[in-house]
A and B are shown apart, each in its own frame.
Chain A
Amino acid sequence: MQTTVASEYSNEIHSVPIEHRFNPYSDNGGTVLGIAGEDFAVLAGDTRQVEGYSIQSRYEPKIFDVGDNIVMTANGFAADGVALIDKFRQQLKWYKFDNFGGKLEIKSAARYIQHLLYGKRFFPYYVSTLIAGLDEEGKGAVYSYDPVGSYEREQCRAGGAAASLIMPFLDNQVNFKNQFIPGTDGKEKKPLKYLTLEEVIELVRDAFSSATERHIYVGDGLEIKIVTKDGVRTEYYPLKRD
């Protein structure tokens, strides 16, 4: 084929009309984080919502109490996130009607959300989803998902814009990765133990203030939902607004 030498337009040669497709997704930034403790679990997220370099809102909460002592977030494309959570809430209501008001266990909620996500496998919800609550034994539980429904239960997980900044920090501070008992010459791993709620809140706040420093999509405010056997409560801390 005859081509123009070194032309930046070379790739414009097509045998079919150039398709200019509507992009049904956008990235609304923000980051989220879930940590499970022994008898509690937390889900945290910043309250900034962006579009490109513009901050759309400094307070648009994205962690929701969906009922039955479960908190949920779906971070990424905000419209999909809202749609997914609305859909889950609605289904939970039907579950209540069909089961004489019985509690939906978090593992059942987790499996159900997989089906919601995989149901749109070929036009996915563009979100990283997290849920947190207590399992049947009263132990803290966090479940995390990819956009098409692959999921697992974990001790902790970060999602969204600054996930890659926060996750290694969590590996180190929650699961004690690369931590060793002093004096063992790096041979003996530091044994795992549950963190207290106070320690977890401190970790979350450090994670978010650091992410705010390094990521333009993170900031403005930090909202944490804490699940214990007594229910869900919310805490708010300001973050840098620059």
Chain B
Amino acid sequence: MFRNNYDNDSVTYSPTGRLFQVEYALEAIKQGSAAVGLTSKNHVVLVALKRNAEELGSFQKKLIKIDDHIGIALAGLAPDARVLSNYLRRQAMSSKMIFDKPIQTYKAVLSIADKAQENTQTYGARPYGVGLLIGGYDETGAHLFEFQPSGSVLEYYGAAIGARSQAARTYLERNLDEIRNSESTEALIVHGLNALRDTLSQDIELTNKNTSVSIVGKDQEFVVYDDEDVQQWLDKLDSVSNARNRDDDDDNNNNNNNDEEVKDEEVKEENAETTESAADAPDTTEGDDRMETDE
């Protein structure tokens, strides 16, 4: 098997100028389930798909509150996200303590970016294996950032990370104008869930068990909806399953309307019959799907 000589630590460049350990960390994000973030003028919505390791187990939390005005969504190694979120919480609190002012979202994000960057330049250190979407509302308005283990931080109107997130990005790109001009927070959340739905593989659908919704913005403290609280938002979707056939997921949506409905039904029936086997399956399908979306 091919052996890479330049990935033993995070501080050594390959001859082509790459840092393999950092790139592997970016891969770890793609192994995680999807998280989607999107902004209107005054609000940020973060939604995420939760996974449970086994049928009897709980779902991994994907949305974490940092302060009344900031929250994050994660994809990748959840324990690493805990470390980063605790760090962010401390930063937020010291801003309150020292300046009597909520921390600016941008500054909060840069504080973890600096931490992450340090790991790419420290011998013996491991880059964080998690990507974050940070949503915040401060005196400079509503902001959404994506954080990567490389230490890079970029601001977005809409962003998606995690498995099959390309599908969500496609949705966000196609509906950008509508999303940006959303008057109601409800519309924004529905767009978020639509985008998230597009990341689903055929055998699962959005349920109040596997979906998390959060919102923050003007006159709106960061709040997370989980479990039964999330049902109100799912009820607003035309469908909770991703019925699109990704091969012809193009501009001919209208033509497919009938097909989609039929497919919806099929999928639901299938799920009803094979819930258990579907739950066992995702690991393998996840891997395959990833190859597809990441191409």
A/B contact in complex, CB under 8 angstroms:
yes
What residue in chain A is nearest B100 (Cβ atoms)? Answer: A86
What residue in chain A is nearest B94 (Cβ atoms)? Answer: A90
B65 touches A90 (CB 8 A): no
How far does the Cβ of B128 sit from chain A's closest Cβ, in whole Å?
Answer: 20
B89 touches A90 (CB 8 A): no
B89 touches A86 (CB 8 A): no
Q: Which residues of B contact A94 (CB under 8 A)?
A: 89
Q: Is A93 interfacial (CB 8 A cutoff)? A: yes
Q: Which residues of B contact A93 (CB under 8 A)?
A: 93
Task: State in angstroms the CA–CA spacing of A97 and B93 once bound together.
Answer: 12
Q: Which residues of B contact A97 (CB under 8 A)?
A: 65, 89
Please classify the interface of chain A as helix (H, G, I), strand (E, B), loop, or mixed, using the class held by over half of its residues: helix
What residue in chain B is nearest A90 (Cβ atoms)? Answer: B93
Q: Which residues of A contact B89 (CB under 8 A)?
A: 94, 97
Task: State in angstroms the CA–CA spacing of A185 and B207 once bound together.
Answer: 75
How far does the Cβ of B260 sit from chain A's closest Cβ, in whole Å?
Answer: 38
Q: Is B97 interfacial (CB 8 A cutoff)? A: yes
Count of B residues near A, CB < 8 Å? 5
A86 touches B93 (CB 8 A): no
B14-40 contacts to A, CB under 8 A, are: none
A59-99 contacts to B, CB under 8 A, are: 86, 90, 93-94, 97
What residue in chain B is nearest A96 (Cβ atoms)? Answer: B65
Q: Which residues of B contact A86 (CB under 8 A)?
A: 97
Task: State in angstroms the CA–CA spacing of A97 and B222 once bound together.
Answer: 13
What residue in chain A is nearest B64 (Cβ atoms)? Answer: A97
Task: State in angstroms the CA–CA spacing of A93 and B68 once bound together.
Answer: 10
Convert A115-137 into 0s and 1s, putting 1 for each residue whose CB lies closer than 8 angstroms to a CB of B.
00000000000000000000000
Q: Which residues of A contact B97 (CB under 8 A)?
A: 86, 90
What residue in chain A is nearest B66 (Cβ atoms)? Answer: A97
How far does the Cβ of A109 sit from chain B's closest Cβ, in whole Å?
Answer: 18
Q: Residues of B with Cβ closer than 8 Å to A?
A: 65, 89, 93, 96-97
Q: A90-B96, A97-B65 are in contact. List 6 more A-B contacts (CB 8 A).
A: A86-B97, A90-B93, A90-B97, A93-B93, A94-B89, A97-B89
A-B contact pairs, 8 of them (CB 8 A): A86-B97, A90-B93, A90-B96, A90-B97, A93-B93, A94-B89, A97-B65, A97-B89
